[in-house]
Amino acid sequence: MDGRAGKFRDDLDAYVRYRRLCDGVELTYESINLEELMGFLDIEHHLGLRGKDTWSDAGNEGQIVIKTLIGQILTERTPAAGSVPDLYVEFARKLRPDDYVLTFNYDVLLERALEQAGVPYRLFPNRYKDVSDYSATIDDSRQEVVVLKVHGSVDWFDRRRYERFRHTYAVQGLDPDQTPDRIFNPSQGWYLTPVVEGPRHDDDPLVSLYRLRQVEAYYWDPDWFLNTPSLISPSTQKLVYSSYVREFWNGLGRAGWGNFRLVVIGYSLPKHDDYARQVLYRVARNYQSDNSDLSDYLKIERDPLVLVDYRPDAAGLEDLKQRYAFVDWSKAMLHPTGFDLSVVERL
């Protein structure tokens, strides 16, 4: 990659030099830990250490290259709409209204599985009938699965930059409709849908996010530095950029008490996601607590916590158990052979 994208190589060199001078570690490009590199770049961008050379709200050049490549590579390898494998479609069919799916994945596989299965879903916690300055009225009239993409998505793009350019064009006496933008200018003809629907508060950061439905066509020739997918980089510093999905986490510390099924699929709790470990700890401990009064009242037995991962050897299994040391294994089922039909049937 050359031009502005070539600055990613400068970021690599800067990180290698930083680690050599600070830690006495001599890294090659191949031995760089991606999450640690992105944590280094996230701090630099978040604190504005480059001053006027800070590229955009979405990140500096190296961060944008990584985010765009994530979008491009995952999109190339995601089954097309209507061609999702049966295993995932069957999983989608098993989901029921008001089930919550929190996913750390950037891809659109789950959305396509739900659409192929004909299962209604939304990508935000609550619908509202109306909102006021200090409150909102919940709209519970729709039966939907709730999918929360806590690290963003390859098909989410933020409209705010486009609106700022439209304003600049109007101030200068130019036609705002001539604002160049590969995604949001209507002349480009993309099919866009808002991530959230219905009344929202003005300061809701999700309002400006839109889904680009023809995502394969876009990533065939992405608009590298003018539109960047709204996803949180694989980084040791994810919380720095988590403000726009903060609503997804709100109240999760109380989750589990009133639930009767909890399944964790394919999440190994990597060390760079320790914030997620704190959340899962709270949910799992709540879920596995003795809450017989609720079970007796509703006449529903609480299922064991189900943990699904692919751990074909003893060492891998022990590593997973250490990461999930807070789980009461007497009230849990571990499925170490990966996500398969037996897991779906269990649901």
Alpha-carbon distance values, 238 to 61, 130, 280 (Å): 18, 32, 16
pLDDT of residue 297: 64
The widest CA-to-CA distance across the chain, in whole angstroms, is: 70
Per-residue model confidence (pLDDT) at position 57: 86
Give the pLDDT of residue 258. 83
pLDDT at 146: 96
- Give residue 314's pLDDT: 95
Q: Is residue 274 part of a domain?
A: yes
Write down the pLDDT at residue 51: 92
Joined together, the tokens standing for residue 178 give 């001539």
Q: Where are the beta strands (DSSP E) in 105-173?
A: 121-122, 128-131, 136-138, 145-149, 156-158
Taking the alpha carbons at both ends of the chain, their separation in whole angstroms is 45
Domain around 259: 251-347
Q: Is residue 135 part of a domain?
A: no
Residue 320 lies in a domain: yes
| DSSP letter (8 states) at residue 79 | P
Is 283 a member of any domain? yes
Give the pairing of strands 209-212 and 156-158: antiparallel
Q: Does residue 259 fall inside a structural domain?
A: yes
Q: Which amino acid makes up residue 36?
A: E
- CA 329/CA 147 separation, integer angstroms: 27
Mean pLDDT by 10 residues, the chain (347 residues): 83 96 95 94 92 86 93 96 96 94 96 97 94 88 95 95 91 89 91 94 90 95 89 90 85 87 93 89 91 63 92 94 94 94 90
> Is the CB of residue 337 less than 8 Å from the CB of residue 312?
yes
CA dist., res. 168 & res. 114, Å (int): 40
- The helix/strand/coil state of 192 is strand
**CA dihedral angle for residue 213, residue 219, residue 221, residue 227, rounded to 10 degrees:** 80
pLDDT per position as a tens digit, 297-320: 666 778 899 999 999 999 999 999
Q: Which two tokens stand for residue 200?
A: 């929202």
Residue 263: burial class (beta carbons within 10 Å; 0-12, 13-18, 19+):
middle
Q: Cα angle at 235 between 245 and 78, to 5 degrees?
A: 75
Q: How far apart are CA 261 and CA 307, in angstroms?
A: 11
- Contact of 229 with 244, CB cutoff 8 Å: no
Give the span between the Cα atoms of 235 and 243, in whole angstroms: 15
Residue 255, domain member (yes or no): yes
Q: Is 174 part of a structural domain of the chain?
A: no
Amino acid at 41: L
Q: What is the number of domains present in the chain?
A: 1
Q: What angle do CA 79, 231, 190 make, to 5 degrees?
A: 60
Domain-embedded: residue 10: no
Q: Which two tokens stand for residue 101?
A: 């799916």
